[in-house]
Structure formats: structure tokens, C-alpha cells
Amino acid sequence: MDTTRLVDFDKLARRARPKRIFFQLTFIIPVVVLSVVVILAIFAPLVAPYPYDQINMSERLMPPFFMEEGNTSHILGTDHMGRDVLSRVIYGAQISFSIALLVILITSSIGTVVGIISGYMGGRTDAFLMRVTDISLAFPAILIAILLAATLGPGYWTVVIALSFLGWAPYARLMRGEALQLREADFVTQARTIGASPIRVMVRHIFPNIVNPLIIIVTLAVGMVILTEAVLSYIGAGIPPPNPSWGAMVEEGRVFIDTAWWISFFPGAAIGLVVLSGNFLGDWLRDKLDPRLRQI
Amino acid sequence: MADVLLEGRDLVKHYPVKKGLLQRTVGWVRAVDGISFTIERGRTLSLVGESGAGKTTTAKAVLLQEKPTSGTIFFEGQDLNLLSRAQLKREYRPRLGSVQQNPWSSMDPRMKVRDVVAEPLVVNTKQSKQQLRSRVAELLEEVGLNPELSENYPHEFSGGQRQRIAVARAMALNPSLVVLDEPVSALDVSIRAQIMNLLKDLQGQYNLSYLVIAHNLATVRYMSHTVAIMYLGKIVEYGEGENLFLQPLHPYTKALISASMLTLPEDEEKGVKQVILSGEMPSPMNPPPGCRFHTRCTEAMPECSQTVPELRDVGGGHKVACNRV
Amino acid sequence: MSKVLLQVEDLRTYFFTRKGVVKAVDGISFYVNEGETLGLVGESACGKTVSALSIMRLLPEPAGRIVGGKILLDGTNLLELDKKEMRHYRGRVISMILQDPMTSLNPVYPIGDQIAEAVRLHQGLRDEKVTEEVVSALRLLKIPSPEVILGNYPFQLSGGMRQRVVGAIAMSCHPRLLIADEPTTALDATIQAQYIALFKDVQKKTNVSILFITHDFGVVSTMCHRVAVMYAGKILETATTREIFKDPKHPYTSALMQSVPRLDQKGGRLYSIKGQPPSLRGLPTGCRFAPRCPVVKPVCREEEPPEVEISKGHFVSCWKAK
């Protein structure tokens, strides 16, 4: 009874080696897409064929080049004011990404600092900071944005302020949770035994060890901020026309949706593509860096 | 004349137990309930006991991680209660070193080994990068590690090597007293000997005092000069290691020794009986009246449930707290 | 005379990982008689837990696979059973106790339910009979007030009590072989002593065979009749407990024993084995202990020593011990 042939040794050894192509696709595609969009955003004036506000009523409502009546002078067609859709989408990328960058920078900084201090120091500091965070979370986001737009007037900075104001609290919550856990870690106790001040412990020990979840959240936030800005612009509380915010473009094209669908379609597709890429990238990073966060 | 480095006198640590919305204190965990001990220069005191005995709490008090509810710690004659936080940081902390049980979690995974070892120096002294680098190299050599490895991260080392790094870190400030909480119990059996030998060598070389927390009696016997057996927050037997192990007086000590001995077939032939305790350690919230050990004691007498035995010296510094003695 | 219950022959269990093949268990053979306790001793990553999981066929798939050998339980080769048949064996004929009582018990079910689950699965009894079996299992493990404990949740019990409950679950279906993987490592010394005495009693009453995995020689001396010493996926020495302590033949066994402080000896310096256990991924040729062996010879590095019965019941794999 020879039972040593229970298993095909070589087959098992081969199968264990990683499926490289698939794994890398879920990383490569989003990175490529996002890089392309960012580059376009940065070099918009050089890349876009037309200025975003160049009105040309004689060429209004031209379809994209691949349809009849379209031609290559306006690759993605024109909108109801004759403005080139492609150029406006490209300039729109500038708006979307610059807002995303600013908002994420502000919210993650405030949120992280608040969260770490709250989690590590505990006691009354924690209680106070968490109440402030709760209050921020309790605000109905869209309503506040509309209110701010009504008070300060719709515009770029209004959007930045609104989104920053509403966006730091989730970071605070997350970082607080991480800090709470780390507070009890042996190496933190060691640092305190040596005489390290709370500030040193927070900066040197707590923060570097919670950078991973932070990176993941930040990557996922890119899509979220862009989408929120688009929504705000769509309902008129964001960046007003003639600015080529993708959300505003979608709104402008709404009435033409059955005749000149491309006016809303391309900015909408851009939103979808960027948000999706951001999410894929965030998921990939999370799987690589911190599988514990799978529920986010 | 023994040179006393650290003395703990009548140390008590009670933790409040709070319940309910209003966080009322409904009881107290009497983790440490009045213990006294001395640690001499260049010698090792081990605190032995099972979980819940209060030994870790005592170590925390010495390391200033917990403030005693009452009682005093004297360091080189100085009452620590009288020192301000700044004075403690300047004068007491640098004289201590600490080695923890778990070599995997006691180091910041994001710091290189050289930063880990240098941290006590960075926090407490002002030294140039060059000075730090050479001191770290010195320390790593002391513990038997190649200084060139200092650029690596802790996870690249084995458990035994990491514990060596921990010892190097503990030695960074030239301490007089090193507190070691179960320094070898998380290591593989064949590595323990390496670390224990290293610790003994360093003690001889630098006249270090050790406060060792342990539950393994054989390790304790190998490493210690003085031993304190703790049970439910009190010291039940105290004395020179050799006296204690050759002539244990307290029934709990006898049970611990019995549980730690190898059972060789010759023992059965010789009629050596095992001492097996019944029941488990009661909760420190509700210690039994009288002698705390009486509920599990194989030699209990009626008065043991009423009279609390004092820790008395029965000769040669050997102290026992037992109504029978 | 004593009959062999479990016979493991040339067992090989490998793990197929991204970074290569890990030969966790690389050809081990041992046997356990009825009513006897065999200790499997070794340090971390020596393969003792993987051996236990192999016998239970509970290896993490697809990475872990048994690639060779036989596991004969009372004559039946467990490796030839299909999944359904093996499930019948697990819990009913072979039981396992793990190290950590905190995670072995489900925190949301009362104790009684957890034991009853095992009983129902394997014995198909009706409710009253099930309760009877559960209570008798608790009594076997000397758990006080079993009727009360039935309704308790794991968090209400102490560590030692929980470990007894785990033992009760394991014994509830009257298995013939019990595999215990470091069951006392997480327990205090005096509780450990209680537990070991308890198990010896259980063994006497039920004649169960025990495969006791541990790294603690003290536990071995008290609990086991025979011992097998493992290192880097191989068994280096097997003998009765008495023999192992009196006359260890393999350099690793004697080095290990000399490096462990003993309470009954005020020794001089402890012997410390230099170096570290090898990685199981790219093992060197020859004897696996050669790099650390204090009495190594040139042949040790070239060829692996065969297992030799050096005296009755005492097996060693060592060039020096011949």
C-alpha cells in the first residue's frame, strides 16, 4: 500500500506561486488612469485644444467626432454655448483635483491631530474632543454646504471650506481608535518608562504606526471628495458656471440629455472613472498594508 | 554590610472597580496589600507568584508606571514620594532599566534597532549623533550582537536576539537597577539559557541590581539571590534563594516547588509525594479572611481563617507569614 | 500486553507557500499504545503542532498538504479515508485540546450547549440522554457543581476551569486518542499540577491514549510514559521517560536538558546551545542539528543519520550515538 503518491508535489509547488498578472492589473490600471488625469489637470492650458470658456454659437451642440455631423475639430463635441467639451472636461480635472488635494490635506491634518491627542491622552481631553467631533458628524452635510453657499456665495473657496468643515471628523474617529489600541502597546510603555514626554510618544511612536490606515483612508477619500464636490455643483451649491466643474457640466447638460447627451455624459464618465480608480487603488493599498480594515 | 539600593516599605496598591453610568466605586482590587522588600546593590531580588499575586503591580510601582495607594519606595535612601516629577525624571528614571516579557511587542516596529537602543539616551541626555552611534555600537557588542546590524528593523531578528536588543536598551543609561518582567518566558527553551547567562554576566561586570518578576521557580533559583513568594497581594515567604528552596516553610512555597519539580521515577519509589493544591486563587477583590491562603492550604488549621499571620523573621533573614510557624 | 493504538509511519507534511516549500514535518514515525501517554517535545517550529494537525487532517488548505506516509489508527489508515469518514473519526475516536482556553470556547454559547453539541453530533442521542452525557463528562474532569456550570458562559470561568471544560468537550464522546497541544502552557504552575493530576486520573478511568505536545520537560516527566524529541521536522530520539532522563543519547536531547534550569539542582552555569533552530525552507544536507551540535562529526553534515534502535524501545537518529 504505497500512499506516498497522495499528492502531485510539483503541481502544488507551481500553483503556490502568485498570480502576478491579475494582482498587478488591479493596481496598474487605477494608477495609470489617475496619473493621466492628474497630468492633464496640471498641464490643462497646454493640453486642452480650446479655452474652457470660449463661446462659439455657430458650433453649438456639435456631437463627438465618431458620430455623423461630428468632426475632429471638437473631439467630444460642444455644449449649448459652443464650448469644447473635451477642453472643459480637462479643465474640470484641475478643479476637481485641486479641491480634493486641499480638502484632504486640511481634513486629514486636523482629524489626525485631534484623533491622536484624544485617543492617547484620554480622560477629559478625550471626552471634550470627541463631543466636538460628534457635533461635527451630526451636521447634515449637504444642508450645511447649501447654507454656506447661500451665505458666502457659491464658489471655489466656499466649497473648500464646506468640505473641510464637514470632513475632518471621520479621520478623528479613526485615528482615535488606532491611538487607543497603540496606547497599551509594550513599546509605548517602554518609551514612557524611559521618560519620554507625551508629545514625543505621540509624534515618534503613535503616529508612524498608524500611517497605514491613514494612507488607505486618504486614497479612498479622493473619490469621495470629488464626488461630493460634483454633487454640490450639480445642485448649485458648489462651483457655479461658467467654471467647468464636472458636476456643474452634468447639470448644464441635463436639459439636453435626449438630444445632446454628450454634454452630461463625458463629465459624468470622468467622475465615475476617477472615483472608481480611487476606490480600486484604495482597496489594493488596504489589502497590502492593513487587511484589518476590510469593512471600510 | 549589605548596601541597600532600593527599599519598598508597606507598599499598597488598590484599584477601584467602577460600575454604572455614574461610575460609582463598588469595590477595590487589592492588587498589592502591604509588602516590604529590599534590593541590594549587585544582587537580584525575584518576585515569584502566579497571576493575580501582585508581582507585576509591584514592578510597575518601582518603574513609576503606577503610583502606590500608600507606602514608600526608598532609592539610595531617598523617599521617592518627596521628589517632584521633574526630580524623578532627572534623578531616578535614568538609574533604571526595563526589560519586558514580550520581545515582539516591546519595540516600535517602525524604528531601526539603533534608534530603539538610543532612545533612552535621546530622551534623557544631549549627545551628538556621533556619540550616540558609538554608544549604541558599544551596547550591542556588550549583549553579543554585531553592531553592523543596527541599521535593521526589529522584525528581522529572532526572539532571542530581540531580547538582547531589549537588554542593550535597558543598559543604555548605565542603570543601577534593571526591572525584568518575565525576561525569558516567551523565548524558546534553548535560547533561555543564552539570555540568562548574559544577564548574569552583565550583573557581575557592572554590579547591577535586578528586580525579576517570574513564575518559573527553576529560572528564579538560577538567577536570584533573594526571593519573595507572593500570594494575593502579600509576601508569604521571603529570604535567600538557597534557604528558601532547600527549606521551604510556607505551604504555598512547598506547593510551588512541588509543581515545578521534575517527577522522576525514583521519587515515586522514595515516596516523595506531590503537593497538589485544590481550587484556584481567589479574586483580589475579595481575599479570604485571616490567612489568605487558608482556602487552598493543605496544612490549614482552624485559626487560619481568623488570624492574619505576620511576616516574621525565623532566622538568617528568612521570613514567613504562616500561623503554623 | 499493551496494544498499539496509533502508528505513524514516515509522515511528511509540507506547506506550499509563495516563498517556497516549507517541510514542516519531514518523515517522522512513532507509535502510541493503548492507555499510554506519548510526549512530543520540541521547541517552536519543530513540527509538533503540524504533526497533530496532520493526524486530525485539519491542515490549513491549500497551503498545507500531507505528501507522504501512513497514519494507522487501530489498523485503519486515516489518510485513505474520505472527508465524511474522517469527520466521523474526529471528535468521536480522536479528540484534540488546544493551548489557549480563551479561544477554544465560543464566548456566546453556554458551556452545556458546547459540550452537548459534540455529544449530539457523534452519538445521536435524545435530549435527556444528552444532558446525562454532558454532566458525566463534566464530572470526569472533576468540575464542581456541573449542573450550575452547564448554564455558565466561558467568561464566567477561570482559565483553569475553562481548560477543564475544553477537556470535558474532548472526552465527552469517549475518544480512544486524545491529542493535547500544549494545554498547560498558559496555566499557572499550581493549576498546571492540578490539571496534569486530573488527566492522569482520566486516563486511568477511560484508558484513553494521549499524544501530549509540550516544550516543558517538567510536564513530560510527570505526565508521559514515553517521549519523542522533535527538531526541525524530524524526530531525533524516542524512548521511555525514564530512559530519556537517565540516559539521553542524542546530543540535542542532552543539550536541551542541560540548558534548562532544574529546581532540584543548584547548578553552575547553564549550558546554552549556540545558534538558532533552522528555517524550514532551505534545509542543509545532513543532520539538521549539525550546525549547532557540540559533538558534530564531518559525516553529520553530509548524510542524515538513520533511525536506530539503540536499546529496547529507545530509538535515536544520530551518527555519534551508534
Give me the pLDDT at residue A65, please: 86
**C65 in reach of chain A (CB within 8 A):** yes
Q: Which residues of C touch B212 (CB under 8 A)?
A: none
Contact B262 C277 (CB under 8 A): no
Cβ A84 vs Cβ A49: under 8 Å: yes
The answer to whether residue A14 scores a pLDDT higher than 80 is no
Q: Is C75 on the interface with A (CB under 8 A)?
A: no
Amino acid at B231: Y
- % pLDDT > 90, chain A: 23
On the 0-12 / 13-18 / 19+ scale of CB atoms within 10 A, B66 is middle
Of residues C73, C3, C10, the one with CA closest to residue C34: C3
Using alpha carbons, select from A72, A120, A111, A61 the residue that is nearest to residue A261.
Answer: A61
Q: Which of C44, C189, C242 sits opposite B256 (nearest CB)?
A: C189
Confidence (pLDDT) at A290? 62
pLDDT (0 to 100) of residue C121:
79
Strand partners, C97: C180
CB pairs under 8 A between A and B: 49
Highest CATH level, class, for A21-289: mainly alpha
Q: Which residues of C touch A19 (CB under 8 A)?
A: none
Mean pLDDT to the nearest integer, B58-69: 93
Q: What does the alpha-carbon distance between residue A246 and residue A232 come to, in Å, rounded to a whole number?
A: 10
Q: Read off the pLDDT band of C201 (50, 70, 90).
A: very high
Helix, strand, coil tally for chain A in percent (to 5): 75, 0, 25
Average pLDDT over residues C55-64: 86
Between CA B76 and CA A254 the distance in angstroms is 83
Q: Does A123 touch chain B (CB under 8 A)?
A: no
Q: What percent of chain C has pLDDT over 90?
A: 39
Query: Distance (Å, rounded) from C-alpha A216 to C-alpha A296?
Result: 10
- Write out chain B residues lying below 8 Å of A209, CB-based: 108-110
Chain B partners within 8 Å of C158 (Cβ): 280
**Residue C35 CB burial class (10 angstroms; 0-12, 13-18, ≥19):** middle
Rg (CA), chain C: 20
Q: What percent of chain C has pLDDT over 70?
A: 99
Output the CA–CA distances (angstroms, integers) from residue B222 to B214, B219, C270, in the order listed.
12, 5, 9
ipTM for the complex shown: 0.82
Given a contact cutoff of 8 angstroms between Cβ atoms, the answer to whether A77 and A62 are in contact is: yes
The pLDDT tens digits of the residues spanning C205-234 come to 999 999 999 988 888 988 999 999 999 999
Among C44, C190, C199, C241, most B C-beta atoms within 10 A, so best to mutate, is: C190
Mean pLDDT of the region B36-50 = 94
Contact present, B31 and B54 (Cβ < 8 Å): yes
Work out the angle between the directed axes of helices B129-142 and B113-124 (0-180°, nearest 10).
120
Tell me: the pLDDT tens digits for C8-48?
Answer: 999 999 998 877 888 999 999 999 999 999 999 998 888 99
Q: What are the tens digits of pLDDT across the range B193-252? A: 899 999 999 999 999 999 999 888 888 999 999 999 999 999 999 999 888 988 999 999
CA distance C264 to B242: 11
Cα B12 to Cα B28: distance, rounded to the nearest angstrom: 12
CA distance C47 to C235: 9
Lowest mean pLDDT segment, chosen from A158-167, C118-127, C249-258? C118-127
DSSP code for A50 = S
What is the structure's pLDDT at C115? 87
The angle that helices A186-194 and B113-124 make with each other, rounded to 10 degrees, is 30
pLDDT at residue B267 is higher than 80:
no
Q: In angstroms, what separates the C-alpha of A185 from chain B's closest C-alpha? A: 7
Helix, strand, coil % (nearest 5) of chain B? 35, 25, 40
The alpha-helical segments, DSSP class H, found in C207-295 are 217-223, 241-246, 251-259
- Max CA separation in chain B (angstroms): 68
Any bridge partners for residue C72, and if so which? C7, C77
Percentage of chain A modeled with pLDDT above 70: 90
- What are the residue boundaries of the structural domains of chain A, listed by start? 21-289
Q: Name the residue among A186, A187, A195 with its Cβ closest to that of B123.
A: A195
Mean of pLDDT values over B160-173: 95
> pLDDT averaged over chain C?
88
For B315, the 3-state DSSP assignment is: coil
Reference B208, options B194, B225, B192; nearest CA is B225
pLDDT at B169 over 60: yes
Maximum Cα–Cα distance across chain C: 67
pLDDT at residue A179 tops 90: yes
**How would you classify residue C159: left for phi > 0, otherwise alpha for psi between -120 and 50, otherwise beta?**
alpha
Write out pLDDT tens, residues C276-312: 888 887 788 889 999 889 898 898 889 889 999 988 8
Distance between CA atoms of residues B215 and B281, nearest Å = 14
What's the confidence (pLDDT) of residue C315? Answer: 92
Give chain B positions within 8 Å (CB) of C271.
Answer: 193
Element (H, E) at C67: strand C64-73
The beta-carbon neighbor of C222 closest among B217, B218, B263 is B263
* Residue A75 reports pLDDT greater than 50: yes
Residue B271 has pLDDT above 80, yes or no: no
Residue B1 in this model has a pLDDT that exceeds 60: no
CB contact under 8 A, B256 and C190: yes
- Yes or no, beta carbons of B100 and A186 under 8 Å apart: yes
